[in-house]
Structure 1
């Protein structure tokens, strides 16, 4: 029996889920995004991005980098990852086919859940909006 009653059938992800096809999993995938050298910056984050090739285009994919030197407690690092995944999950349909790596670049003075989620959402929306 499925834990999610709204799932159509076993083996099919829920429409708003965060399946493996939407994640960056391998080191070379992260490396290719960093090598492309395009990024959007906010107060605490850098959002590195690379357009996907036509062959591999399957929607936006997300990778996360939250260094221990900025957030010592694993609870805080995991909270930040959960917030980022949730914002990406909600905005995924609006994003073009890019590989994205969200990286914490500055140690936050206070870990405010709402402020961090809003900052991540703004970065993702910048990427979703048409650029001149």
Structure 2
């Protein structure tokens, strides 16, 4: 099973991010928010938004991104074909890897239970 985080599994363009945010579907967790858009592709793709407003230190922002990418890479095979954007919704008091990973795992589980329907254009 391919567990890489190749370019085809990423959202890279501004238009891709705009279309996901424009679809206005989101699942909120304790610290993270998952925006999603059912995609016409065959696999899930990930985009990350981590601003300086909630995490001041670059070390913390990079750590959060690393946690999210790692969990996405391991769980991608069971996710529906969606474009996903993960962003920080609340400032965590202390950046704990286990708590953030658990929060993201719950969001992905909820997404899998919802089975998003494809968008008809």
The two structures, once aligned, show a CA RMSD in angstroms of 1.5
Structure 1's unaligned 5+ residue stretches are: 1-13
Q: Distance in 1 between matches of 2:71 and 2:11?
A: 16
Q: Which has the higher contact order (CA 8 A, sep 6+)?
A: 2
Moved over 2 A (4+): none
Deviation at 1:39, TM superposition (A): 0.2
Work out which of the two has the higher radius of gyration on C-alpha atoms and give 1 or 2: 1
TM-score (structure 1 length as normaliser): 0.84
Q: 2:56 aligns with which of 72, 78, 100?
A: 72
Q: Which residue pairs with 1:108 in the alignment?
A: 92
Find out whether 1:94 has 2:83 as its counterpart: no
Q: Which residue pairs with 2:11 in the alignment?
A: 24
Structure 2's unaligned 5+ residue stretches are: 116-121
Q: Which residue pairs with 2:65 in the alignment?
A: 81
Matched positions, count? 116
Deviation at 1:58, TM superposition (A): 2.9
Q: Which residue pairs with 2:119 in the alignment?
A: none
